[in-house]
Chain A
Amino acid sequence: MRTIRLLNLTSIGYLLIFGLLTAGFYSAFFFIVQKAVAESTDEALYNRKQRILTEITKNGDKLPNDAFHFTDFRLSKVPINCRAKDMLSDTAIYEKGEEDSYDFKKLTSIVQIGGKKYRLEIVVPQMEKEAIVSSITKTISLVLVLMVFTFVIATLFFSRALWRPFHRTLSKLDEFQVEGKEKLEIGASWIAEFDKLNRSITHLTLRARGTFENQKQFIENASHELQTPLSINQYKLEQLIDDPDLTHTQSGIVQSLIDSNQRMTRLNKILLLLAKIENGQFPENESVNIKALTADIIKRFEDIQTALGISVDISNTEENQLLGNKMLIDLLLSNLIKNAFVHNIAGGKIIIVIRKNCFSISNSSNGAEIPSDKLFERFYKSSNRTESWGLGLALALRVCRLNGWEIHYSYANRMHSFQVGFS
C-alpha cells in the first residue's frame, strides 16, 4: 500500500487551511479597505463643499469669477425652483494630452447663494480599484510567504525534535526478536503519548517473550518426559525379540512396534533439538572448514549415492573457514545434503558450490517447484514419504536464523536449489 508521512499529511492540511484563510482574509480586507476609501472620499467631498460655501459667504456671496482658478469645482446657474438632493457619482475625466482617463468622484448639489440657485459640482480623484487590489495583494502575499516559510521551518524543526523518541522506539522495536535474549530497552519519554506507547510496547514484548519461553519450555519438558516411556518401550521390545519362543507372526508385530517406537524416538530427538537451538544452548563457536565438513557429510550418504548412481560435483569450491557452532553447521549442511540425496532420481546429480560467503546445493528431481513460503515450516511435507516429517528444513532455517544467515530456495531446469548466505 502507498503510504504518506504523517508530517506531510498534516503539513498539506495546514497549508490548505492557510490558503483558504488567506483567500477569505484577502476578500474581507479588500471590501473593508474599499469601503473605508469610499467613505473618506465622500467625506472629503462634503468637507470641500462646506469650505467652498463658507469661502463664498465670507466673500459676500461673490462667486469666484476665474473659472480656471479652481479645477475641482464648477458652479452653474440653475432655475430658482430647481431642487434636488446631493448626489454622488463616479466619473472619468480625460486629462489633456493623455490617453488614460482618471477616476474621479463627483458630488453634485444644488446650493443657494445670494438668492440664486446654483449647481455645485465638486470632484476628487478617486483611488483606483486596481491600485487597491495590487497593494493588498502585495501585502498579503508577503505575509503568506513569510507565514508558510516560518511554518515549514518550525514544523520540520518541531517534528524532528518531537518525533525523535518515537523513531527511537521504532528502531528498537525493529531490532527486537521474540526468540532473542536481549531485553527491549526503550525507557521513558517526557511526552505523555510516547511514554504510554513505550510502556504498552514494553509490556507487549514481555508478554510475547513470556509466551514464547513457555512454549519452548513446554516442548523441551514434554520431549524430556517422553524419553523415559520411549526407552521403556524400546528395552522391552528388544527383550522380546531375543525370546526364542517368538513365532514368525509375533516377531513381525514386534518389528513394526520397534519401527514406530524408533520413529517416535527420532521425532522426539528432533523436537528437543529444535527447542535447544531456540534456547541458544549451542553457544560454543569454533572455526569450521566448510569444504572439509561437506566432504565428510557426503561420505555418510555413500550407500544411497551408490544405490541411486548419483553424481556429486563439488569441484566449484573456495576455501571457507566459518566461525560457528560445529554441531549446528553440521546439522544445517547435513540436512540440506540429505534432502538432495533423498529427493533425487536414479542417475541424478548434485551440484555443490562453496564460496567465501555462501553455500549452495542443487539436485535433480522429478518433483515440481515447491512453494517456498511453506517449505521451511515445521511438518511441511512436499512428498508422501511417510518416513519424513518435514523437520529438516525447519531445523536448517532455525540454525540460519540463530546465526543471522539467509537461506533461500529456488527451482530451475528441474533442479531444486538451496542457497545459504553467510554474512
Chain B
Amino acid sequence: MKLLIVEDETELVSSLLSFSRKEKYLADVARNYREAKERVSLYEYDCILLDINLPDGSGLELLEYLKTISRSNGVIITSARDSLDDRIKGLDLGADDYLTKPFHFSELNSRIQAIIRRSKFGSSSLLAFNNLKIDINLRTVMIDTSELGLTKKEFEILQHLTANKNRIISKNALAEYIWGDHIDSVDSFDFLFQHLKNLKRKLKAAGALLEIKSIYGVGYQLIGS
C-alpha cells in the first residue's frame, strides 16, 4: 500500500507521516507541485493525498497531468478551502474524494480504505475483523453466519470503528462522522454514548469476537478479543 502525501506544511506532513506509519502505509512526500509531478511520473501510488494550494501551482494541475499520463491513482484532495468550485473541478478531473482541512485521521483512513477497496479487482465492499463481516453496499453485518440487526447509526458507528480497528477514535471524530456539523458536540456525546451502549450489547449477545473499548472518556477503540 503506497501513499503519496502532497503537502507543503511541514507540521502537517509530519503528522500525516506518523499516521501512515501507524496504519502501515508506505508514504512518500512531495512538498510542491514540481516534486509531486516528478514522483507520479516515476512511481505508482495506490493513493495520493493532494493539497490544492501548493507554493508553485495548484493541485488541480497535477490532476490534469495524471490524466495526460493516464495514471489511475486514487486521489483524495485535501484543501483548507471548502470551496464547492474546487470540489466539483477536482472530482471532474478524476479525483476520488475531497476532504476539507482539518479532518480527523479516522475519517481520512476510512476514505483511503474505500479507495483501496474500489481499486481492488472485483471492487469488494467487504470489511472484516475476526468473525465480523460488514458489507458496505448491502449495509449488512454478519457475526459468523448470522445477521446482526443494527439501526442506521449503529451501523455507521460499527463501520467506522472497523475501518479504523485498533485505533483510538476520539468522541469528536466519531460524532462528526455520524452527524456532521448538524448538532453541537455536547449533545452528540450523550447520543453517541447511548448508541455505543446498544451496539456493545448487541455485539456481545451475538458472540462477536471483538470489543469496543472506551478509552478514558476521550474516545473508543475496536479491538479483537
Interface assignment of A316: CB less than 8 Å from any CB of chain B: no
Closest to B195 in A: A303
Q: Which A residues from 380 to 409 make CB contacts under 8 A with B?
A: 385, 387-388
Q: How many whole Å from B75's CB to the nearest CB in chain A?
A: 19
Interface assignment of A83: CB less than 8 Å from any CB of chain B: no
* Contact indicator per residue, chain A 12-39, by CB within 8 Å of chain B (1) or not (0): 0000000000000000000000000000
B82 in complex: contacting residue of A235, A272, A334, CB < 8 Å: A272
Contacts A232-B11, A242-B167; A224 near B184 (Cβ below 8 A) = no
* Contact indicator per residue, chain B 139-175, by CB within 8 Å of chain A (1) or not (0): 0000000000000010000000000000110111100
Q: Which stretch from B42-50, B54-62, B213-221 is at the chain A interface?
A: B213-221
Question: A387 — which chain B residues lie within 8 A by C-beta?
Answer: 184-186
Closest to B101 in A: A231
Question: B15 — which chain A residues lie within 8 A by C-beta?
Answer: 232, 235-236, 238-239
Q: Which stretch from B16-24, B129-137, B203-211 is at the chain A interface?
A: B16-24
Interface assignment of A53: CB less than 8 Å from any CB of chain B: no
Interface residues on A, range: 35 or more
Q: Is the CB of A334 within 8 A of B182?
A: yes
Q: How far is the CA of A304 from the CA of B178 in the complex (A)?
A: 14
Q: How many whole Å from A254's CB to the nearest CB in chain B?
A: 6
Q: How many whole Å from A32's CB to the nearest CB in chain B?
A: 88
Interface assignment of A423: CB less than 8 Å from any CB of chain B: no
Interface assignment of A266: CB less than 8 Å from any CB of chain B: yes
Question: B19 — which chain A residues lie within 8 A by C-beta?
Answer: 235, 239
Q: Is the CB of A252 within 8 A of B216?
A: yes
Q: Is the CB of A230 within 8 A of B18?
A: no
Q: Is the CB of A301 within 8 A of B102?
A: no
Question: B167 — which chain A residues lie within 8 A by C-beta?
Answer: 242
Interface assignment of A265: CB less than 8 Å from any CB of chain B: yes
Q: How far is the CA of A246 from the CA of B218 in the complex (A)?
A: 11
Q: Is the CB of A307 within 8 A of B190?
A: yes
Q: How far is the CA of A387 from the CA of B181 in the complex (A)?
A: 13
Closest to B88 in A: A284
* Contact indicator per residue, chain B 51-80, by CB within 8 Å of chain A (1) or not (0): 000000000000000000000000000001
Interface assignment of B92: CB less than 8 Å from any CB of chain A: no
Contacts A232-B9, A232-B12, A259-B172; A304 near B101 (Cβ below 8 A) = no
A234 in complex: contacting residue of B102, B186, B219, CB < 8 Å: B102
Interface assignment of A342: CB less than 8 Å from any CB of chain B: yes
- Secondary structure at chain A's binding surface: helix, strand, loop or mixed? helix
Closest to B181 in A: A266
Question: A227 — which chain B residues lie within 8 A by C-beta?
Answer: 80, 101-102
Contacts A238-B173, A239-B18, A251-B216; A269 near B104 (Cβ below 8 A) = no
Interface assignment of A327: CB less than 8 Å from any CB of chain B: yes
Q: How far is the CA of A303 from the CA of B192 in the complex (A)?
A: 9
Question: A96 — which chain B residues lie within 8 A by C-beta?
Answer: none
Q: How many whole Å from B157's CB to the nearest CB in chain A?
A: 12
Closest to A255 in B: B218
Q: How many whole Å from A94's CB to the nearest CB in chain B?
A: 110
* Contact indicator per residue, chain A 140-162, by CB within 8 Å of chain B (1) or not (0): 00000000000000000000000
Q: Is the CB of A262 within 8 A of B185?
A: yes
Interface assignment of A173: CB less than 8 Å from any CB of chain B: no
Q: Is the CB of B183 within 8 A of A301?
A: yes
Interface assignment of B187: CB less than 8 Å from any CB of chain A: yes
Question: B153 — which chain A residues lie within 8 A by C-beta?
Answer: 303
Q: Is the CB of B172 within 8 A of A231?
A: no
Q: How many whole Å from B95's CB to the nearest CB in chain A?
A: 19
Q: Is the CB of B80 within 8 A of A238?
A: no
Contacts A235-B15, A262-B172, A265-B102; A342 near B184 (Cβ below 8 A) = yes
Interface centre among A238, A282, A334 (most CB of B within 10 A): A238
Closest to A244 in B: B168
Interface centre among B105, B167, B168, B217 (most CB of A within 10 A): B168
Interface assignment of A228: CB less than 8 Å from any CB of chain B: yes
Q: Which A residues from 249 to 272 make CB contacts under 8 A with B?
A: 251-252, 254-255, 258-259, 262-263, 265-266, 269, 272
Q: How far is the CA of A171 from the CA of B62 in the complex (A)?
A: 51
Q: How far is the CA of A254 from the CA of B168 in the complex (A)?
A: 13
Q: Is the CB of A251 within 8 A of B82?
A: no
Q: Is the CB of B191 within 8 A of A303?
A: yes
15 contacts between A and B (CB under 8 A): A234-B102, A235-B19, A238-B105, A238-B173, A242-B22, A251-B216, A252-B217, A259-B185, A262-B172, A269-B181, A303-B194, A304-B187, A334-B182, A385-B184, A387-B186
| Supplied contacts A265-B102, A281-B83, 13 more A-B pairs, CB within 8 Å | A224-B80, A224-B81, A230-B102, A235-B11, A236-B11, A238-B105, A251-B218, A252-B218, A255-B170, A258-B218, A334-B182, A338-B182, A342-B183
Which 6 residue pairs are nearest across A and B when measured between Cβ atoms?
A235-B15, A231-B102, A227-B80, A303-B191, A251-B216, A234-B102
